[in-house]
Amino acid sequence: MFIKRISSMVIISSLFLACAGVAAAQGPAGQMARLKRLLALTDAQATEISALLRKHREAAFPMRQELRTRNHELRNALEAPEPNPNAVGQLVIARHALAAQLRALNIKLQSDIAAVLTLEQKQKYEQLRTRRGPRRGPA
């Protein structure tokens, strides 16, 4: 039962990462151009948000790498002939902590971006985020 639950968690998180990769495939320039068009950003706002996004990517990259490593280790631990529940549990806890750090980083990015926007742009930004559903990144 425990192994099936962990396997399901690994599959779901892998699927989430794969879906998030589609959004990342646009690249930062494409995402920024779309955000600039949808929110009618000024050049100064676009420059400031681009800097925030760059800073965010630099901070999140090592965490994402570590998360990938933990996913790989967890998958290997679960595929062992007799998975060690302690090792699996420790890997799940490590993954959870990394995911929480990434969520906190994303929340900070969202608030930093909102601070750059006008009231009207913030409302539109929130509508876009709500319509899009829970995902990574600003747009």
Domain-wise residue ranges, the chain:
29-132
Residues 6+ apart with CB under 8 A from 4: none
* Assigned fold of 29-132: Four Helix Bundle (Hemerythrin (Met), subunit A) (1.20.120)
Number of C-beta neighbours around residue 128 at 10 A: 15
Q: What is the pLDDT of residue 26?
A: 58
- Dmax over CA atoms of the chain, in Å, equals 58
- Give the pTM: 0.68
The pLDDT tens digits of the residues spanning 58-116 come to 999 999 999 999 999 999 999 999 999 999 999 999 999 999 999 999 999 999 999 99
Whether the Cβ atoms of residue 51 and residue 108 lie closer than 8 Å to each other? no
- As a dihedral over the C-alpha atoms of residue 26, residue 32, residue 35, residue 37, rounded to 10 degrees, the angle is -100
Query: Two tokens at 86?
Result: 């302690």
Q: What are phi and psi of 25, to 5 degrees?
A: -65, -25
pLDDT on residue 10: 55
